[in-house]
Amino acid sequence: MAAQARVDVGGILRPQGRPDMSNALQPYRETLGERAAAHLLRRAGFGGTPDEVRRYAAMRADDAVASLVSVPSADSIGPPQEADVDGPIDDKIEARDSELALQLWWLNRMLTTQAPLQEKMTLYFHGHFTSRSTRRFPRITYDQNALFRQWATGNLRELTRAVSKDAAMLIYLNGASNVAAHPNENYARELMELFTLGVDNYTEQDVRESARAWTGWRVTRSTATVRFVPSQHDYGTKTFLGRTGDFDGDDIVDIIFSQAQCARFFAASLLNWFVYNDPEPELVERVGTLLQEHNFELTPVLAAILGSNLFFSERAYRALVKSPVEFVIGTYKTLGLPAVDKAVLPALVQMGQHLFYPPNVAGWPGGENWLTSGTMIARQNFLTRLLGSQTLEASPWLRGLPMTPKSAARELAQIVLQDDVSPASLVELEGYLGGSGSAALAMLSAENFDQRVSGAVYLAMATSAYQLN
Amino acid sequence: MMKRRNFLVATASGLAVFADTQHVFARALAQTPLPGLPGGEDRCLVLINLYGGNDGLNCVVPHGNDRYYQLRPALAIARNDVLAIDAQVGLNPQMRSFKSLYDKGVVAIVQGVGYPDPDHSHFRSTEIWQTAAPDRYEHTGWLGRYFDEAEPARENLFKGVAVSRVLPEALISNRTDIPAIPALNEYAMVADRDASARRAFSAAAHDRSVPFQSPYLAHVMEIEGNAQRSSEELPKLVAGYTTKASYPATGLGRSLALAAQIIGSNLGTKAIYVEHGSFDTHVSQRTTQDQLLLEFSNAVAAFYEDLAAHGNDRRVLTLTFSEFGRRIEENGNHGTDHGEASPLFMIGGGVKGGLYGAPPDLNDTNMGNVRFAVDFRSVYATVLERWLGRPSAPVLKGQFAQLPIIA
């Protein structure tokens, strides 16, 4: 195996070598096949069921991508009844249960939606425009989640305007206490540092001027409503990123989005999310240009990224670490299970991804930061607990696995790992299923099927390849 | 450049196996003190997070200050009840066992610890204390960076241990895999069903001749190996340790008992994190905080009794912290709201017992909160330089004055 290149930014590794920039973003024109189909479904969504993978495998890349980026309106999606989001909920246990119900509802959307990219982008924005749950006021948490879903493949500038006036965001980054008499700079700073430009692309004076422009937005938590209070807004003249005027928040967003750096910032972020970590500056520049050409409309840009030669290259393949949510929902998808069990909620926390509780305003750092001994044990233990007889029963294909160990091992390697396994490991898998040496079985039997097959699925999912997206 | 461990041995089949696991592990254990830690010897730091915001004024009570009694008509601890240290301050009456430790001269109380422009969010302030970065976002913790800088032998899987379910930010590092071990019986792979599964797992987890390349492949393999080895080995490694200490049957009691067991088993552990709380006493503070302080006091006393019985008490420095103290004036619910500076404790090791920092000024406040007199990074610098024997500037990203607490 070749030595691995490492760039010393914590937890982020870039594939070694350089991409061929002349065709990196040109459309990939092949029929997918199972390996590329599974790759596309893992990245654009949370993985595919065996049926979905087979269906996409027969498609040409452009058709497959077009189908994935065609995302329906989220208007008809309402909050789950079981989460009782309309609170406030004063009882702490009830408030916690409501939050758990909302998490479970979202995870089930990821599993069952016909538009996986919509949920994938909702998760992306949850980690990008971070806020924390306001547990007593579940409506506030739900509304932000719905906002991300509404704009999942929409316009980045419009979403940035909207999330700036979102109740959860106004609470989390103190926008709701930012008034003309006492400006609070928290949101103004993070808007530029973490959400749109990155450090060193603005001055402290820009932060102060932007904070003034954002004054006057207030939140009524009990009704999850946001209102603008003119008497608390600073109508004075501001000078921001070199421009002067009586700016309000929307103006600030427009000025930020007129900077080439903003396009680069989102380009790098999207490449990190969909393709590989620490993308080359030239690549970032090109995707940034695409964003500007499309006026920050995501649909055409996501189509270009997901349909590119680069996306389907070995360079991008398995080049990301699965997040806990990708790991869990991907496992449900692979097994073809119909619904997410609530036992995954504490498991996700132990794996390091507590939905509605990103670790800080910078979101989940991702990359190799997902993996420690403790989170790895949590991943493996999640698998072990899931892979019992009930799951075997609920999986449409595990029951029908061939009874000869060799064929069963091959089918597992193909469906779970797209054959991303060495011949020697395949032999190990077969050996586990059938036993080895003189004790080897020619056929699995009804007596040992559940135990051997659940163990073998576990082993396939415990491979390094399965941790990678 | 990350150094990959060398225990993965490629075989003819292309699989990597744990050929020399036992050998490497034995070698790691023999390395006490660990190499690359000058001055650290076999010392260990135990960090106790008193999470939720421990009210400093009812913990280290300013019983000589009339203003305290004016501002806390319902909550103040009566002068007669305070375990007096001097005419000005004393300890909460529930902390008798802890007061005995103080009287033995092994407890330093640092008063007025905080940081500039304090944040009143539990979440953010906890992050600030754990990452030692009040003015920026760091994804690594201060002890994580200590490990990154000190580079203790990578093959030692227990150089740091968090006794918690989720790895705390303090121990998050760029290069070092630190296990979170809530309890011995919870740090286990439930899949360890039989030898053939274990063998196949080892093979599968170290399949280096896979038909794809990934920049993360080596890292995934390393962590999978660590997870399996450490969960298998830990119960065996600490099995020989017995104790007669009477730990309280509380979460902190159990956590510190495990800490003493790990320390006493000589695994080369340099830092252990435990937590205790919640101290977020907006309502009925006396009931909650007094009980938590009683548990803290008894658990820490049992911990040092246990350590001393095994000759380890001088090896272990314990440092407490809490994300903030609480508002000086009580609220309308017999509680207190989020505040700012508060005292912390350093116990054992080479601590020169006594009072440090500055008693809270209850007149000159920051909008009703205690102003800080000692930057918490000065405490960390003291621990890093004088206890762990490492330069503090690379860890704290700056120079902070040290306190004359550790001999």
Q: Where are the domains of chain B?
A: 4-16+23-207+214-396
By CA distance, what is A189's nearest residue in B?
B136
pLDDT band of B18, cuts 50, 70, 90: very low
Please report, for chain B, how many H helices and E strands are present, in that order.
Answer: 11, 13
Q: Which of B 222-261 lie inside 8 A of A, CB atoms?
A: 223-224, 226-227, 230-231
Asked, as a colleague might, if the bond just before B168 is cis with ω within 30 of 0, I would say no
Per-residue confidence (pLDDT) for residue A388, from 0 to 100: 86
Q: Which of B 329-358 lie inside 8 A of A, CB atoms?
A: none
> Nearest Cβ partner of B166 from A352, A373, A421?
A352
**Interchain CB contact of B63 with A (< 8 Å):** no
Judged by CB atoms closer than 8 Å, whether chains meet at A425 and B224 is answered as: no
Answer with the residue of higher pLDDT: B407 or A264.
Answer: A264
Task: Give the pair of three-digit tokens for residue B96.
Answer: 């008798």
DSSP structure string for B369-401: BPPPSEEHHHHHHHIIIIIS---SHHHHTS--P
Per-residue confidence (pLDDT) for residue A382, from 0 to 100: 94
- Cβ partners under 8 Å of residue B94, min gap 6: B290, B291, B293, B294, B297
Task: Give the pair of three-digit tokens for residue B324.
Answer: 């903030």
How many residues in total does chain A contain? 469
Alpha-carbon distance of B229 to B232, in angstroms, equals: 5
**Interchain CB contact of B407 with A (< 8 Å):** no
Judged by CB atoms closer than 8 Å, whether chains meet at B216 and A13 is answered as: yes
pLDDT at B229 over 50: yes
CB-CB contact of B107 with B94 (8 Å): no
Alpha-carbon distance of A167 to A217, in angstroms, equals: 9
The crossing angle, in degrees rounded to 10, of helices A344-351 and A373-386 is 160
pLDDT at B332 over 90: no
Task: Give the pair of three-digit tokens for residue B387.
Answer: 């206890």
Q: Please give the single-letter amino acid code of residue A139.
A: R
Specify the 3-state DSSP secondary structure of B328: coil
Hey, what's the torsion of the CAs at B351, B353, B354, B358, to 10 degrees? 10
State the nearest Cα–Cα gap between A18 and chain B, in angstroms: 13
Per-residue confidence (pLDDT) for residue B383, from 0 to 100: 97
User: At which residue do the structure tokens 């393949």 appear?
Assistant: A317
Between the alpha carbon of residue B266 and those of residues A246, A374, B34, B300, B312, the distances in Å are 66, 21, 11, 20, 10
Phi, psi of A119 (to 5 degrees): -75, -30
Judged by CB atoms closer than 8 Å, whether chains meet at A376 and B226 is answered as: yes
The closest alpha carbon to B163, from B148, B150, B181, belongs to B181
> Nearest Cβ partner of A428 from B190, B204, B231?
B204
Judged by CB atoms closer than 8 Å, whether chains meet at B204 and A460 is answered as: yes
**Interchain CB contact of B27 with A (< 8 Å):** no
Mutate one of A376, A383, A386, A433 to test the B interface: name it (highest B CB count within 10 A). Answer: A376
Handedness of CA B199, B205, B206, B207 (dihedral sign): positive
Ramachandran assignment for B367, one of left (phi > 0), alpha (psi -120 to 50 degrees), beta (any other): left
Judged by CB atoms closer than 8 Å, whether chains meet at A359 and B169 is answered as: yes
What burial letters (b/e) apply to A227-254, b meaning 16+ CB within 10 Å? eeeeebbbeeebebbeeeeebbbebbbe
pLDDT at B1 over 50: no
Assign 3-state DSSP to chain B and report helix, strand, coil percentages, each to 5: 35, 15, 50
pLDDT, tens only, A279-307: 999 999 999 999 999 999 999 999 999 99
With a cut of 0.90, is the ipTM above it? yes
pLDDT, tens only, A127-165: 999 999 989 999 999 999 999 999 999 999 999 999 999
> Nearest Cβ partner of A314 from B189, B206, B213?
B213
pLDDT at B22 over 50: no
Q: Which residues of A touch B212 (CB under 8 A)?
A: 314, 317-318, 420, 465
- Cβ partners under 8 Å of residue A242, min gap 6: none
Alpha-carbon distance of A334 to A124, in angstroms, equals: 22
pLDDT at B207 over 80: no
**Interchain CB contact of B9 with A (< 8 Å):** no
**Interchain CB contact of B13 with A (< 8 Å):** yes
User: What integer best gives the mean pLDDT of chain A?
Assistant: 93
The closest alpha carbon to B160, from B239, B230, B241, belongs to B230
CB-CB contact of B224 with B205 (8 Å): yes
- Cβ partners under 8 Å of residue B400, min gap 6: B375, B377, B378, B380, B381, B392
How many residues in total does chain B contain? 407
Judged by CB atoms closer than 8 Å, whether chains meet at A381 and B189 is answered as: yes
- Cβ partners under 8 Å of residue B360, min gap 6: B56, B57, B62, B65, B111, B112, B328, B341, B370
Residue range B4-16+23-207+214-396, CATH number: 3.40.720
Q: Please give the single-letter amino acid code of residue A74.
A: A
Per-residue confidence (pLDDT) for residue B195, from 0 to 100: 61
Neighbouring C-alpha atoms within 13 Å toward the C-beta of A405? 22
Say which DSSP state B107 is in: E
Phi, psi of A355 (to 5 degrees): -60, 140
pLDDT band of A3, cuts 50, 70, 90: very low
Task: Give the pair of three-digit tokens for residue A189.
Answer: 């700073």
> Looking at residues B172-193, what average pLDDT do you find?
82
CB-CB contact of B206 with A398 (8 Å): no
Alpha-carbon distance of A61 to A39, in angstroms, equals: 12
Judged by CB atoms closer than 8 Å, whether chains meet at B14 and A422 is answered as: yes
DSSP structure string for A260-322: HHHHHHHHHHHHHHHT-SS--HHHHHHHHHHHHHTTTBHHHHHHHHHTBTTTTSTTTTT-SBP
Specify the 3-state DSSP secondary structure of A116: helix
Phi, psi of A148 (to 5 degrees): -65, -40
Strands B44-51 and B271-277, bridge-based pairing: parallel
Radius of gyration for chain A, computed over Cα atoms and rounded to the nearest angstrom: 24
Q: Lowest mean pLDDT: which of A42-56, A361-375, A412-426? A: A361-375
CB-CB contact of A276 with A5 (8 Å): no
Judged by CB atoms closer than 8 Å, whether chains meet at A468 and B217 is answered as: yes
The closest alpha carbon to A110, from A422, A400, A428, A340, belongs to A340
Please report, for chain A, how many H helices and E strands are present, in that order.
Answer: 22, 4
pLDDT band of B198, cuts 50, 70, 90: low
pLDDT, tens only, A179-211: 999 888 889 999 999 999 998 899 989 999 999
CB pairs under 8 A between A and B: 193
> Looking at residues A247-275, what average pLDDT do you find?
98
Q: Is A460 exposed, middle or buried (0-12, 13-18, 19+ CB in 10 A)?
A: buried
Per-residue confidence (pLDDT) for residue B203, from 0 to 100: 67
Alpha helices in B137-216 (DSSP H): 142-150, 195-205
The closest alpha carbon to A56, from A75, A77, A38, A83, belongs to A38
Q: Which residues of B touch A10 (CB under 8 A)?
A: 139-140, 174
Judged by CB atoms closer than 8 Å, whether chains meet at A428 and B180 is answered as: no
Per-residue confidence (pLDDT) for residue B228, from 0 to 100: 86
Q: Please give the single-letter amino acid code of residue A287.
A: V
Mutate one of A130, A207, A377 to test the B interface: name it (highest B CB count within 10 A). Answer: A377
pLDDT at B188 over 90: no
Strands B60-61 and B90-91, bridge-based pairing: antiparallel
pLDDT, tens only, B230-285: 998 999 999 999 999 999 999 999 999 999 999 999 999 999 999 999 999 988 99
Residues forming beta bridges with residue B274, ordered by sequence position? B48
DSSP structure string for B224-255: HHHHHHHHHHHHHHTTT--------SSHHHHH
Between the alpha carbon of residue B157 and those of residues A85, A295, B269, the distances in Å are 44, 50, 9
Alpha-carbon distance of B135 to A213, in angstroms, equals: 23
Hey, what's the torsion of the CAs at B173, B177, B182, B186, to 10 degrees? 160
Per-residue confidence (pLDDT) for residue A87, from 0 to 100: 80
Mutate one of B210, B214, B223, B232 to test the A interface: name it (highest A CB count within 10 A). Answer: B214
pLDDT, tens only, B38-75: 445 689 999 999 999 999 999 999 999 999 999 999 99
pLDDT at B14 over 80: no
Alpha-carbon distance of A109 to A115, in angstroms, equals: 9
In SS3 terms, A329-372 reads as: HHHHHHHCCCCCCCCHHHHHHHHCCCCCCCCCCCCCCCHHHHCC
Task: Give the pair of three-digit tokens for residue A55.
Answer: 């269906």
Q: Please give the single-letter amino acid code of residue A10.
A: G
Answer with the residue of higher pLDDT: B3 or B154.
Answer: B154
Per-residue confidence (pLDDT) for residue B110, from 0 to 100: 98
Alpha-carbon distance of B325 to A376, in angstroms, equals: 36
Per-residue confidence (pLDDT) for residue A277, from 0 to 100: 95
Judged by CB atoms closer than 8 Å, whether chains meet at A421 and B217 is answered as: no
